[in-house]
Structure 1
Amino acid sequence: DDGNTTALDGCDATCLSECAAGSQTFNFTGAIETFVVPTGCSRITITAQGAQGGGMGGLGASMTGTFTLTAGDSLSVLVGEEGLTEAPGSYGHSGGGGSFVVDAAGTLLLAAGGGGAGDHNMTGLGGPGLTTEAGGASGDGVILGGTGGNGGQGSASLSCGCGGAGGGGG
């Protein structure tokens, strides 16, 4: 048992013996985690969610992509941590961390930026994260969130599906 939740929708009877559609969600751990494409899977849909910034900060970006991979391929997943929230007046809020998925060759498949930190007085909300940079902070006299922030409670979900049946020749 690899811990994946399994659903059988999307696979025909000939495929069920080789794979079952399912998904696996990764949450923040502070470490790079590994996902190995199961036998019979040919398409992986990945959704990466950047983490929210601290101090009522902006939400992280959400990115989804579908990739054709081969059983046994290894993907590295890094999920961002939620930004820090400090006491009002301390100017210590930080942006949320981005979430990233790369293949074994180090090629970036998907990235979702973390949200910007909120105003130190908590009078507004930080901006949303983008695909390549984090959102800005609200108010004035604040520290901007972003790529240098303390990660975030993001997530990455990988869903596996079977290849389609071959068509007949003419």
Structure 2
Amino acid sequence: MICVAWRSQGMHQRQRGTALPVVLLIVSMMLATTAAWFEGALFAARNTSAVVDQMRSFRAADAALALCSRALVDGATIAPPGPAQSGEPQDWRRQQTFEARATTPLRSWPGSARPPQCVVEAWRIEARPAARAFLVTARGFGATDDAQSWLQMQLVVDGMHIERHWRRVVAQPF
């Protein structure tokens, strides 16, 4: 019996030496998994913040577009659209022109860096000389000036009939 006890104690000594590397391997795997989950959660939070910022700028631009279009149809003076051009106006694509002619139909927008803006440009449709046409361009901001949404509406007023054509500007023009 003494011999058996001595033998099991020797095996116990050998097993104790292999437990540490196994525990270290499991702990390092748990650490790597936790770090990956943390990076994934951080990425998701940043992505969610960017989507919220984009939605904020879109809603601000949409509100400005609606207010400026309504004021134009109602005959309110928001900003003189300037002389009518033949062909679709392009002044909204130039930063200096846009900034100089932009109006702010709202004093502020919640969470936005700046209030939304709009510009109205008049134009002539060659096929419909009796109609008055306007291009209303609106720009909304998110939490920073870099988060912007651009929306446009083409308004064609032909007597008592008003046509509205909405579109989203995909890329910032300047």
Q: TM-score, normalised by structure 1?
A: 0.28
Pick the structure with more strand per residue: 1
Pick the structure with more helix per residue: 2
Q: TM-score, normalised by structure 2?
A: 0.28
